[in-house]
Amino acid sequence: MVHYLDNAATTPVRPSAVNVMLPLLTETYGNPSGAHRMARDANRVLDDARATMAEALGAQPGQIVFTGGGTEADALAVRGTVAARGGIPVCSAIEHHAVLDPVHHLGGRVVAVGPDGRLDLAALEEALDPSVSLVSVMLANNETGIIQPIAEAVEIVRRKAPGALFHTDAVQALCWVDVAEAAAAADLVSVSAHKFGGPKGVGVLVVRDGADPEPLLLGGGQERARRGGTQNVAGIAAMAVAAAETVAERPAALPRVAALRDRLADGIRAALPGVVETGVVGDGGPGAGRRHKTANICHLCFEGIESEALLFLLEKEDIMASAASSCASGAIDPSHVLLAMGFERDLAFGSLRLSLGYGTTEADVSAALAVVPAAVTRLRERGS
C-alpha cells in the first residue's frame, strides 16, 4: 500500500472535481469566447467558477484572473507589475523560485528571514524606497510550512513605499489558512488548483482594483485582456469545486491534520538523535511551537545523512515524500530556504518534507513512523 506524504508537491484530485470535469470535456466543450449556445454555456461555467473562486479568496469576481497555474500567476504579478509601473521588485529570501527568479532577473532586492523562517521586518523596511514598485512575500512556505506576517509586512510597505503593490504567493496556503482574511490587504494573490484537490495546469491571480499588471500573454482579449488564450473551462470548473470544498472542510481538517503532523514529527524526533524540525518556536517539546506553521508540513533535517539516499529507501517501503533540495545541471544544491534560515549546508542536505493532506490517515503516519527512523539509522550506520 502506498503512503502518500507529498501533498505539498501536489494533491490527489478530489472526486467531485473529476466529476465536474468529465461533462465539460465531452458535452459542454464550446469555446467560451464564441457566440452560439454551447459557447454561452461554457462561458456561464466560467462565470460561476469566477464567483466561487472570488468567495474563497475574499475578492470580487471581476478581480479573478484565471491562469495556467501558480507559476504563471506569480510571473504575471511580478513581471507584469514591473512592466506596467517600472521600478524594481522586492521579495523575501524564502520565496518559491517562481517569484525569486523573476525578482533576480529584474534586478530586484531580496530580504532576509530570521532563524525561525519568518520575514525580517526591519530588513524589509531597509529595502524599501520610492524605486520599489512591488513587494512579494509568500503566505506559507512550500518547504517548511512557515506562515509569514503578511499584515505587518503590508503595513510597512504602505508606509515606506506607498506607490508599491503588495503580492502574496498563497499557493501552499488555501487548505490550511483563511486566505480571504490573511491576504485581505494584498493587491495581488496567487493560488494553484493542484495544491488543494484540483487539476494541474490551472490557477488564479487575484488582481485588486488599481493593480493592473501588464499582461504576459496577448491575443484574444480573454480575462478582460489581462491573460490571452482560450480558458481551460473544465480545469477551472474543477478548481472552483475543489476550492469550495477545501474552504468548507478547513475548520474540521485543521485540527485533525495538525494532530497527525504533530504525532509524526514528535515520533520521529523521539526515535532519533540529531533531528532538527524547522520553524519550531520555543523549546520544541511535543506539539509545541508550531503555531506559525501550516498544519500539514512535517519538515525535518537529519544529521549525518543525505536526503536523496533517504528518499530512495522510503520509496522502497512505499513512503512517498520529498526533500527540500533541487537538482540543477547534475549538481545537487541544498535548499535556498534552509540556507536563508541559517542552516549549515551539511544539515540542509539531510532535509525531509513529509506533507499531509485531506486524505492522510493514521495508517499513513504509522507507516512513516515505522520506516523513517529505521531508514535514517541504516544510512548513518553505513555513512550515508
Looking at the structure, tell me whether residues 28 and 99 fall in a common domain: yes
Q: Convert 100-109 to b/e letters by CB count within 10 Å (16 or more is b).
A: bebbeebebb
Looking at the structure, tell me whether residues 240 and 270 fall in a common domain: no
Residues above pLDDT 90, as percent of the chain: 93
pLDDT band for 8, please (50, 70, 90 cuts): very high
* Distance from C-alpha of 191 to C-alpha of 183, rounded to nearest angstrom: 12
- Determine the pLDDT at residue 290: 81
Looking at the structure, tell me whether residues 37 and 107 fall in a common domain: yes
Sequence letter at residue 31: N
153-204 pLDDT, tens digit each = 999 999 999 999 999 999 999 999 999 999 999 999 999 999 999 999 999 9
Query: Nearest-5° angle of CA 138, CA 140, CA 261?
Result: 170
The domain tally of the chain equals 2
Looking at the structure, tell me whether residues 260 and 231 fall in a common domain: no
- Determine the pLDDT at residue 231: 97
CATH number at residue 213: 3.40.640.10
Residue 168: how many other CB atoms lie within 10 Å: 28
Q: Are 358 and 175 in contact (CB under 8 A)?
A: yes
- Helix or strand holding residue 336 (H, E): helix 336-340
Q: Give the chain's mean pLDDT.
A: 95
Active site residues: 327
279-316 pLDDT, tens digit each = 886 654 555 578 799 999 999 999 999 999 999 999 99
| pTM for the predicted model, two decimal places | 0.95
CATH number at residue 294: 3.90.1150.10
- Determine the pLDDT at residue 96: 98
pLDDT band for 47, please (50, 70, 90 cuts): very high
- Determine the pLDDT at residue 67: 98
Looking at the structure, tell me whether residues 221 and 261 fall in a common domain: no
* Distance from C-alpha of 142 to C-alpha of 322, rounded to nearest angstrom: 11
Looking at the structure, tell me whether residues 157 and 273 fall in a common domain: no
3-state secondary structure of 288: coil
Nearest to 352 by CA among 297, 312, 301, 294: 301
Listing DSSP states for 239-280 in one string gives HHHHHHHHHHHHHHHHHHHHHHHHHHHHHHHHH-SSEEETT-
Looking at the structure, tell me whether residues 171 and 63 fall in a common domain: yes
Nearest to 85 by CA among 136, 46, 146, 133: 133
223-240 pLDDT, tens digit each = 999 999 999 999 999 999
Looking at the structure, tell me whether residues 124 and 186 fall in a common domain: yes
Domain end residue (candidates: 205, 229, 245)? 245
Residue ranges making up the domain that contains 42: 15-245
Looking at the structure, tell me whether residues 44 and 24 fall in a common domain: yes
pLDDT of 330 > 80? The answer is no
* Distance from C-alpha of 23 to C-alpha of 18, rounded to nearest angstrom: 10
Give strand ranges (E) for the chain: 3-4, 64-67, 88-92, 109-111, 132-136, 165-169, 188-192, 203-207, 275-277, 297-302, 319-320, 325-328, 331-334, 351-355
Q: What is the CA radius of gyration of the chain?
A: 21
The residue behind cell 461555467 is 45
Domain end residue (candidates: 221, 245, 269)? 245
3-state secondary structure of 325: strand
Looking at the structure, tell me whether residues 113 and 208 fall in a common domain: yes
* Distance from C-alpha of 24 to C-alpha of 260, rounded to nearest angstrom: 37
* Distance from C-alpha of 127 to C-alpha of 21, rounded to nearest angstrom: 45
Looking at the structure, tell me whether residues 34 and 59 fall in a common domain: yes
Looking at the structure, tell me whether residues 269 and 238 fall in a common domain: no
Angle of helix 15-26 versus helix 233-271 axis, rounded to 10 = 160
Domain end residue (candidates: 202, 217, 245)? 245
Angle of helix 307-316 versus helix 362-381 axis, rounded to 10 = 130
